[in-house]
Structure 1
Amino acid sequence: MKNLTKKIVVFFTAIFLSISLGSVSFADGHGKKILFSIKGPGSGNPFWASVTKGAEEEAKKLGVKLILIAPPQEGDVQAQINQVEDQLAKGVDALALAPGDPNAFAPIVDDAIKSGVPVVFVDTKGINEGVTFIGTNNMNGAELAAKFICDKTPKGSDVAILTGIESQSTALLRRDGAIKGFKNCGLNIVATQTAEWDTAKGRSVTESIILKNPNIKAIFASNDNMGLGAMQALKDADMNDVVVVGFDATPDAATSILKGEMTATIAQFSYNMGAYGVKYALELANGGSIDINIDTGTQLVTKANANDFK
């Protein structure tokens, strides 16, 4: 009889544990489909590669089915829109979105929310009211870069700004932060031009800027791709004393800084953007509530700490 009692206790304990573990798994993400749309492919772009890695590892940890999509190239907004609409039509539980064009995506986001699909913005803030933004405080990061340049450059010096795709809030905030920082310390902004986040365009735009402004002392590039392009143009022109500060702290930028080429960059923690995008999209899918702004952080990277970002 004692053995029978023990067997019954063990049997019901096993059932209880099975139910408990099953409910924990479901709460964590079991059965949930999270759509994560980024602005560009990870291949060839360390920033998006890091976002992707963060999203994939967090999804695995939480037991989420992750559907991660990207257009063939950054800036192909229509392709990104088509991808998102296609996946939403198939059915997902939440959407983490880095919008290539916040205005173009606004009605899609509204429709998703109306249909019961919660949305979070990642990296680039959208224009929809009440939707959480997960990413860098881009204006503060650019001001940090500008302050560093101010400390390295005599008052009244000529400086330039390379901006990203100007339909994106990320690009505008970094531009405005740099302008504010430069004006505060009395530097003379001789050019503010887009190079659309691209290395080759960063090089060609810088070539044009330095041709017209040979006395330029510093360039703030709104991402490292453009900063590396600017650095190449300056090397070609034998202008090796110009201060160049980027944004992203990619491994290539860190290597350039350690070589004494680029001067500095601003780290934004792209891995966290991917991980937090999945984490907080799941939180909403499970009926929870989250803060309206989730800052993933920034840090100045110079030769002193660039090894940490290689």
Structure 2
Amino acid sequence: MARARTAARQLVLVATVGGLGLALTACGGSSTASGSGSDGSSAATTGKVAAVIKGLDNPFFQTMEKGIQDQASADGTDVTIQAAAAITDTSGQADKLTGLAGQDYKCFVVNPISGTNLVQGIAQIAAKDVPIVNIDSPVEADAAKAAGAKIATYIGTDNNAAGQLAGKQMGTLLPDGGAVALVGGISGDVTSGARLDGFTAGKPANVSIVQTVAADWDRQTALTKATDIMRANPDLKGFFAANDDMGLGIARAIAHAGKTGQIKVISVDGNKDAFEAIKSGGIDAVVAQFPYVVGKMGLEACEAAMKGKTLPEKVDAPVQVVTKDTVDAALSAAPKPGEAYDDPFAELLK
């Protein structure tokens, strides 16, 4: 959904090739956006774009939708956005893409819930030789190949690198080391696995992992799992959560146990609630992605593809490590990074 420095430089760590806002639609709904270019003329001369994203029950994807909408308004692009009913609604999301695939769209932005759930629709799109831009969560390469689909570009966070940043930050929070637990998303999920693997690679040797569990990207599930883990490991020093929603559930479990501040929590995403939890002390650090930027670049990529531009195969979105020292600046800049980042698609559209 890229993308150790001193505290002064820690705010933004931008990937070499470059995911807070509120959505305008309800969960599982659709929206359209279009507008005029800054000179008052319409830039939407190359066709309509369709985007299918994950569920708007998660603020991360609300912000991604806002990035797509704002880019459409800025460039006058006619875009239809449809979202899954929930972050776990694989079949419903697939049905939305299949329905759109039969219509006259000239480019598609896809943000699959799993690596394979959108393959049927992708195959329909590929058969018409329409560009497919993959954002945030990758379409499984073998599945895309079997569908005869060439993904024009992939835009998203380097999740392994994000996990490594979290592992290094845990070392900073626990200079004397200690036992930590990892809380992942859906079991077998590629994004979750990459973040957990990255954390394992990035942590110092004196930080040991005593347990790894899956909490389905869900706050309440994470609360329950964290409560069980703390009971089984009374000397636990920290948690790493593969997304902010689970991190907030863990923070609540720690508060219920009367151990806020004693057990460190790091999560990944960069949602406003997580930033506010840093300010209040429930979460110690967030490896923030910029879903707004991922959505914006996804539509830019489609605009460039429809103009016949050759797209880079992969673009890493920016990330930043946010702590109590930098959270105010992060909130002020949101939903964008606090510093400039590379955007090759904007360059292609010049």
Task: Report TM bin, short chain.
Answer: 0.7 to 0.9
What amino acid does structure 2 have at the position aligned with 1:209? Answer: I
1:175-199 CA-to-partner distances (Å, cap 9, x unmatched) read 11112223x5342111111111111
Which residue of structure 1 aligns with residue 189 of structure 2?
A: 168
Contact 2:93 2:118 (C-alpha < 8 Å) held by counterparts: no
Which residue of structure 1 aligns with residue 19 of structure 2?
A: none
Distance 1:167 1:121 in 2: 20
Aligned ranges 1:184-263 → 2 under 5 Å: 184-240=204-260, 241-263=262-284
**Greater RCO between the two (CA within 8 Å, min separation 6)?**
2
Alpha-carbon RMSD across the aligned residues, in angstroms, is 2.2
Structure number having the greater helix percentage: 1
Which residue of structure 2 aligns with residue 29 of structure 1?
A: 44
Match of 2:107 among 91, 94, 102: 94
Which residue of structure 2 aligns with residue 53 of structure 1?
A: 66
2:166 matches 1:151? no
Please give the TM-score of this superposition, normalised by the length of structure 1. 0.86
What amino acid does structure 2 have at the position aligned with 1:298? Answer: V
SS in 2 for 1:90: coil
Bigger-Rg structure (1/2): 1
Deviation, structure 1 residue 308? 2.9
Contact 1:100 1:168 (C-alpha < 8 Å) held by counterparts: no
Deviation, structure 1 residue 133? 1.1
What amino acid does structure 2 have at the position aligned with 1:119? Answer: I
What amino acid does structure 2 have at the position aligned with 1:81? Answer: A
Match of 2:88 among 60, 75, 84: 75
Deviation, structure 1 residue 123? 0.7
Please give the TM-score of this superposition, normalised by the length of structure 2. 0.77
Match of 2:53 among 25, 35, 38: 38
Q: Percent identity?
A: 27
Distance 2:268 2:125 in 1: 32
Distance 1:110 1:71 in 2: 19
SS in 2 for 1:216: coil
Question: Closer, same or farther in 2 for the Cα pair 1:26/1:106, shift >3 Å?
Answer: farther
Question: Closer, same or farther in 2 for the Cα pair 1:77/1:26, shift >3 Å?
Answer: farther
Contact 2:133 2:151 (C-alpha < 8 Å) held by counterparts: no
1:215-236 CA-to-partner distances (Å, cap 9, x unmatched) read 1101011111100100000110
1:234-262 CA-to-partner distances (Å, cap 9, x unmatched) read 11011221110111111111111111221
Contact 2:161 2:198 (C-alpha < 8 Å) held by counterparts: yes
